[in-house]
Amino acid sequence: MTEGAESGTAGKTPAQQIADGYRFEGTALELGSVLVDGTADPQSAVRIPLAMMNRHGLVAGATGTGKTKTLQLMAEQLSANGVPVVLADVKGDLSGLSAAGQSGDKVTKRAKETGDDWQPTAYPCEFVSLGTKGVGVPIRATITSFGPILLSKVLGLNETQESTLGLIFHWADSNGLALLDLKDIREVIAHLTSDEGKAELKSIGGVSSATAGVILRALSNLEAEGGDTFFGEPEIDPADLLRVDESGRGIITLFELGTEAARPALFSTFLMWILADLFQHLPEAGDIDKPKLVFIFDEAHLLFHDSSKAFVDQVVQTVKLIRSKGVGVFFCSQLPTDIPNEVLSQLGARVQHALRAFTPDDQKALTQTVKTYPVSKVYDISEALTALGIGEAIVTVLSERGAPTPVAWTVLRPPRSLMGPIGADAITAGAQGSPLWAKYGQTIDRESAYEKLTATLQAPEPQSQNTDEPVARSGGKDAAEDEPSAFSEALSNPAVKSFMRSAGSALGREITRSLFGTGRRR
């Protein structure tokens, strides 16, 4: 240590020395105060620079240690600073952000320990649900924009099946076929696996009909479980997640898990699609004073469980690239080891609540977690992580110059909003009173490009063929039952093939597939 550094710390307590590493020039989120030897110093603040919130972060800890309240605390301050937040409300506990908190002895004591002039405050919230079966504003995506990698994750496909699905998407894109909902992708696969579509199936890389059949059955199972309600239109506009209210506070969009609890991978994967879609929507931002949006994945282990390498690679790429668009991503889970190392290495802020070390696996996770923190002269981090109380965490973040701050055992501030849910009726009322309800409340089921093309090809038949031909070709069946073979015959016509190629080229260019193979048709 240099002489200047020694003189700068002379006479300061360890808590004050740690707090020196959290003194920033710009605006910062106030997390709490430093605790040393069981005593919190209200004057020794632990903070996160607002400008560094797009360097991403992790909030971890065992059940019941206070992770949800930490997310609530962060969302409040982001909103107050004009930053919109997207937050997965997996357990339904975060709806209280929309209501003012309630004072009490515990809140008063914690506010005093952390030097907080606590005031009950409500924050602007939007309550949204995946599909039409929840209590919030229904949010949907089209199959086309969702892309093959994310859909494979939802369907539980292996890597071979995922590759096959990618080829099927490519075929649909090349032929200008917009896949809006589950019945569209099912219709395409059914055509490709039919006698009429075998030639088309071979043309996209020798795809196995058996593999295509597995995908078709997985789609049918998803539809039977109600998964069809969130694929379709109107599709969510990314701009609706980037709004502020009339007073300039960022709007907090809360995604409820609701009826998708039986298929949590669908919920977490849908959120990753939104993040990838935001990447395509937003322009490059460079270095900015505050992020345009902060995206928080609660129960992040759901996102990575049984994920393919392609999926994890795309998550890593998304996290790396999205910061340049001014978006911060925070993952929340019980253990840091729930997050792949490639992703974990991209997370600049760490808020680690208590870990349990009851089993050999717990011990291994504890050892690995300790290694992710800077060396501390004040704490034995291994012991501290198992001794943290509720609402306490081991914290290190990136300073304004991008260097890790000292490790701080932090007593976290209490949220100013209600620490608990507001109830389903209140959420429904809030959702139906939102301007988003008029935009997304009703499902639109327009014709897909595939259906339109079928109708177009069938229309000229009465003029070009005599009335006996349809009966002879169908063996006495009516025209409606004969549509598949008529469609196949039309596709074999050289003029129609030429039209399909030109239409496919023109419409295919409208889809620019990006992260996860996502892409919207303009």
Helix (H) or strand (E) holding 392: strand 392-396
User: What pLDDT sits at residue 470?
Assistant: 40
Q: Give DSSP secondary structure letters for 441-493.
A: SS-B-PPPHHHHHHHHHHTTHHHHS-THHHHHHHTT--TTTTHHHHHHHHHHS
User: What pLDDT sits at residue 260?
Assistant: 53
Written as six digits, the tokens of 106 are 């515990």
Cβ atoms of 73 and 296 closer than 8 Å: no
In three state form, how does the secondary structure of 250-294 look?
ECEEEEECHHHHHCHHHHHHHHHHHHHHHHHHCCCCCCCCCCCEE
Angle among Cα 268, 307, 208 to the nearest 5 degrees reads 115
Closest CA to 151 of 174, 200, 176, 185: 185
User: What pLDDT sits at residue 9?
Assistant: 67
* pLDDT tens digit sequence for 177-193: 888 988 889 888 888 88
Percentage of residues in the chain having pLDDT higher than 70: 84
15/294 Cα distance (integer angstroms): 30
303/312 Cα distance (integer angstroms): 9
User: What pLDDT sits at residue 96?
Assistant: 95
Helix (H) or strand (E) holding 46: strand 39-49
Closest CA to 36 of 413, 398, 396, 407: 407
User: What pLDDT sits at residue 481?
Assistant: 40
pTM of the predicted model, to two decimals?
Answer: 0.85
CATH superfamily, domain 14-132+251-257+267-304+317-440, is: P-loop containing nucleotide triphosphate hydrolases (3.40.50.300)
Cβ atoms of 61 and 86 closer than 8 Å: no
- Per the omega criterion (within 30 degrees of 0), is the bond before 415 cis? no
Kindly list the domain boundaries of the chain, sorted by start residue: 14-132+251-257+267-304+317-440, 143-230+447-459+477-517
Q: Average pLDDT of the chain?
A: 84
* Residue 12 neighbours by CB under 8 Å, 6+ apart: 20
* pLDDT tens digit sequence for 407-416: 999 999 999 9
User: What pLDDT sits at residue 455?
Assistant: 58
- Among 207-216, 259-268, 285-294, 382-391, the minimum mean pLDDT is found in 259-268
* pLDDT tens digit sequence for 445-502: 877 645 754 654 455 555 444 444 443 333 343 433 444 444 445 445 444 444 444 3
